[in-house]
Chains A and B, each alone.
Chain A
């Protein structure tokens, strides 16, 4: 058997003082030389001390009173004289009961106040969110309206250009149709057709430029509108966030306030003492 194992087995007997003188001498010699065994023994002692402190439960006045009442119910069954409940005990329970009632009122009031603060804060956040959404949607609608107008202009220009081109093409077809009718037209038609082709090209270029111009303007407006909307969204989100932070602070403050009230109330109940000599008079 190792020295450590022997030590562990003898530790209880050492603590109980039941080792023989020779065993005690050997035990103490090992203890002096071995730090880990000293720690183990110290831990055993500390465990006992700490547990003694933490489990030292006190009987409350209410429990003591209930014990008297239980005993009296039993004595009454046997027809024996009832126990006299100490006046001081009755006064203590009465004082605690009154303090508990008052504390319950204070905690309830504190709770209502805290709930009102939190609700107010919540409403403020809700208002900021609704206002922000309205402003952002207004900006978005304005930009969209501009976009629609530009799109309508682009469609108009495209239609005009297509009409012009169609007309020129028709004229060109007429010239081409006349060629078989007269040999002279075969000579004059190519320059005319070339002219029509040039005109069509010019109309296409002009129309395309107008459509492109409207498109570009529309794009610029959309980009500007988008940027403005995004800026508005950021602004409104910032406002809402601030309100929410305020709300969180309000909630935390309300929680702390309520915790203080509960803590004070618990102390009031714990410290409750009879108010007057009359209270302490009690009854049998």
Chain B
């Protein structure tokens, strides 16, 4: 219906209902999936989905086309998901803020011995356990991992979406991989015990 992305954006900016119908049909699944991967909860993912589309509707006039539309959408969806986490943390009175994570990134330590598994077999039930492992990652690490590893964004796109440098994005993905691996090994040890 819309031949080019810029034409599509133009119609969105004009408030054309057909453009918004296309927006929902083409991008709602992707936004919901990424929100679910970050939030690990269907109800919260739906809230993030709705907030993302409302934000697009309210701010589309500000979109200049410097980045791909999908990257812009990923950024809005990611921020909507992180906002939900922040709100929850505030309600629960948690001191561990998403925003104080940068210090952790600078003091990355790798315990090489604990990361060399004897043999971790990924059984079917391990897949569900892994999802729990993903939930244990800090929101920043989880978001970087989700965008790069699960959504298949390039490292550059991941960095742009998170509005951080490429090296910082790389570090977050690396740390997330290691944390997940550690978690998996711990789970395997518990099963063996």
Q: How far is the CA of A47 from the CA of B127 in the complex (A)?
A: 8
Question: How near does chain B come to A160, taking the closest CB pair, in angstroms?
Answer: 81
- Complex: chain A residue closest to B149, CB-CB: A48
Q: Would you call the interface of chain A mostly helix, strand, loop, or mixed?
A: helix
Q: Which of B74-125 contact A (CB under 8 A)?
A: 110, 112-113, 115-120, 122
Instruction: Find out whether the CB atom of A64 lies under 8 angstroms from the CB atom of B127.
Output: no
B-chain residues with CB within 8 Å of residue A70 when the two chains form the complex: 50, 53-54
Count chain B residues whose beta carbon lies closer than 8 angstroms to a beta carbon of A: 49
Q: Known: A5-B110, A12-B173. Is A47-B184 also a contact (CB below 8 A)?
A: yes
Contact bitstring B10-26, A, C-beta under 8 A = 1, else 0: 00000101001100110
Count chain A residues whose beta carbon lies closer than 8 angstroms to a beta carbon of B: 46
Q: Would you call the interface of chain B mostly helix, strand, loop, or mixed?
A: helix
Q: Known: A12-B170, A16-B170. Is A36-B131 also a contact (CB below 8 A)?
A: no
A-chain residues with CB within 8 Å of residue B25 when the two chains form the complex: 86
B63: Cβ under 8 A from any A Cβ? no
Q: Which of A54-68 contact B (CB under 8 A)?
A: 54-59, 63-64, 66-68
Spot the interface stretch: B1-9, B32-40, B65-73: B32-40
Instruction: Find out whether the CB atom of B116 lies under 8 angstroms from the CB atom of A71.
Output: no
A-chain residues with CB within 8 Å of residue B110 when the two chains form the complex: 5, 8-9
Instruction: Find out whether the CB atom of A54 lies under 8 angstroms from the CB atom of B24.
Output: no
A-chain residues with CB within 8 Å of residue B53 when the two chains form the complex: 67, 70-71
Q: Known: A39-B119, A52-B150, A56-B33. Is A64-B181 also a contact (CB below 8 A)?
A: no
Q: Known: A8-B115, A80-B15. Is A59-B49 also a contact (CB below 8 A)?
A: yes
B28: Cβ under 8 A from any A Cβ? yes
Instruction: Find out whether the CB atom of B134 lies under 8 angstroms from the CB atom of A51.
Output: yes
Instruction: Find out whether the CB atom of B54 lies under 8 angstroms from the CB atom of A48.
Output: no
Instruction: Find out whether the CB atom of A57 lies under 8 angstroms from the CB atom of B45.
Output: yes
Q: Known: A50-B122, A57-B36. Is A44-B54 also a contact (CB below 8 A)?
A: no
Q: How far is the CA of A37 from the CA of B150 in the complex (A)?
A: 23
Question: How near does chain A come to B115, taking the closest CB pair, in angstroms?
Answer: 5
B155: Cβ under 8 A from any A Cβ? yes
Q: Known: A48-B149, A67-B53, A70-B50. Is A40-B116 also a contact (CB below 8 A)?
A: yes
Beyond known contacts A12-B177, A57-B32: 9 more, CB 8 A cutoff: A5-B112, A36-B116, A48-B149, A57-B37, A66-B46, A67-B53, A70-B54, A75-B57, A83-B21
